[in-house]
């Protein structure tokens, strides 16, 4: 790696950071664990069909319902929008200084893909970094488009993704028997298949690979091509538009934010709740619930995500929330590290190389783990950033992208000065 020179491109300085973006990123990285915790702790089929594993009565049911209605796809949507905004922000800052941004951008995406592949294949198949890295390769080309064009393209992308799923569901009766059996088998796995998955994750790291690698490959191929590319692309484009409109910098009018919150409460949540009731009414019949029943959350989650964004932006403008938003900002500045740290902590708790609690704890206990990780990251992130400029993975990523070692440890004099 080279040394820093005055004319060399460099990451954004701390004084140039947009605090509201960091707060929202921290909120999202904590929120996304409320959904991922189930995938760490239970067989994969339980993510799509809550009746596939474990007790679903009493508190367990309400934990699932709240997480599905308020969190599932919502925090991923916020992350995706923020990623699109981040692409635009990085490009604008470099191009405003007369420097090309393409080289940095494509190195940034390439290294993110590398990190994502390692995360998915070595730790946890539910990784989304590969999706973001690949999608970011072409979303970058839209950075100079107007907000109206970006929003239009986002909606078109979502419609294509939704249409693919609806077409799949409507065509189900005409599927060849072997295709239908395979898809239904994936959605409603047999007891033998589920037992093999449980045995894999209750085993050691090498034994886990038997399930993790095929599952990761599926996420990176079929799931990406048929669903994620359309959903994520649209959200990144929407994120670019919202950044240009000032929504993510907490500069939009209170009326704008309250309108988004109203749409989330009056449209988004009722639509998602109807989808839940519909799926229970058909007893989560496969493949209907996956292709058709999922559409209510597919669309409703976008509105709920915008409602969450608006609530966080209003909190950023409210002095009474300053203590909380400062902690969330620290979590957000270390979002990459905290995201991977969640995987390390949770796989140690649930997988066989650690405590081996996979498929042994209900959603109530999973919630206790969730709250513990939240508390840990809210406490540790500010302490870490008081001593270091970046989280460890942020430092590594930036050093690789900018091809030079970045500053890492804060000097005692700068710490004393609060810099």
The two structure tokens encoding residue 382: 């500010």
pLDDT at 5 over 60: no
pLDDT at 13 over 60: no
For residue 2, name the pLDDT band (cuts at 50, 70, 90).
very low
More confident residue, 199 or 94: 199
| Closest to 113 measured CA to CA, from 128, 125, 99, 92 | 128
Average pLDDT, the chain: 94
pLDDT at 418 over 70: no
Return the half-sphere exposure (C-beta side, CA atoms, 13 A cut-off) of residue 102.
3
- Provide the pLDDT for residue 94: 87
- Provide the pLDDT for residue 4: 41
Contact status, residue 276 vs residue 68, Cβ threshold 8 Å: yes
The pLDDT of 374-394, averaged and rounded, is 97
């Amino acid at each position: 790696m080279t040394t820093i020179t005055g004319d060399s491109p460099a990451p954004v300085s701390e004084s140039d950071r947009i605090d509201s973006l960091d707060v929202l990123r921290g909120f999202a990285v904590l929120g996304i664990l409320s959904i991922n915790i189930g995938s760490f702790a239970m067989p994969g089929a339980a993510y799509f069909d809550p009746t596939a594993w474990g007790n679903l009565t009493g508190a367990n049911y309400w934990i699932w319902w709240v997480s599905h209605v308020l969190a599932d796809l919502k925090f991923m949507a916020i992350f995706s929008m923020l990623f699109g905004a981040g692409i635009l922000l990085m490009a604008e800052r470099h191009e405003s200084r007369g420097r090309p941004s393409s080289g940095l951008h494509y190195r940034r995406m390439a290294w993110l893909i590398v990190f994502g592949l390692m995360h998915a294949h070595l730790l946890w198949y539910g990784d989304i970094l590969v999706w973001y890295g690949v999608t970011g390769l072409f979303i970058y080309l839209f950075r100079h488009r107007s907000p109206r064009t970006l929003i239009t393209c986002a909606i078109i992308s979502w419609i294509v993704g939704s249409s693919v799923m609806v077409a799949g569901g409507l065509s189900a009766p005409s599927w060849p028997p072997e295709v239908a059996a395979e898809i239904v088998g994936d959605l409603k796995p047999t007891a033998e298949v589920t037992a093999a998955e449980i045995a894999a994750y209750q085993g050691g790291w090498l034994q886990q690979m038997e399930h993790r690698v095929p599952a990761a490959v599926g996420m990176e191929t079929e799931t990406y091509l048929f669903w994620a590319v359309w959903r994520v692309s649209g959200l990144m484009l929407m994120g670019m538009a919202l950044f240009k409109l000032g929504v993510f910098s907490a500069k939009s009018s209170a009326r704008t934010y309250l309108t988004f919150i109203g749409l989330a409460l009056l449209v988004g949540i009722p639509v998602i709740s109807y989808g839940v009731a519909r799926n229970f009414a058909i007893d989560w019949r496969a493949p209907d619930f996956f292709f058709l029943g999922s559409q209510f959350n597919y669309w409703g989650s976008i509105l709920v995500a915008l409602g969450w964004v608006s609530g966080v932006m209003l909190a950023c403008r409210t002095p009474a929330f300053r203590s909380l938003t400062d902690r969330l900002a620290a979590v957000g500045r270390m979002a990459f590290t905290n995201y991977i740290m969640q995987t390390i902590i949770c796989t140690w708790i649930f997988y066989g190389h650690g405590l081996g609690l996979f498929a042994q704890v209900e959603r109530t206990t999973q919630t206790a783990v969730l709250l513990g990780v939240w508390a840990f990251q809210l406490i540790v992130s500010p302490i870490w950033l008081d001593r270091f400029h970046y989280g460890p993975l942020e430092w590594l990523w930036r050093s690789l992208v900018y091809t030079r070692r970045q500053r890492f440890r804060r000097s005692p004099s700068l710490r004393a000065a609060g810099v």
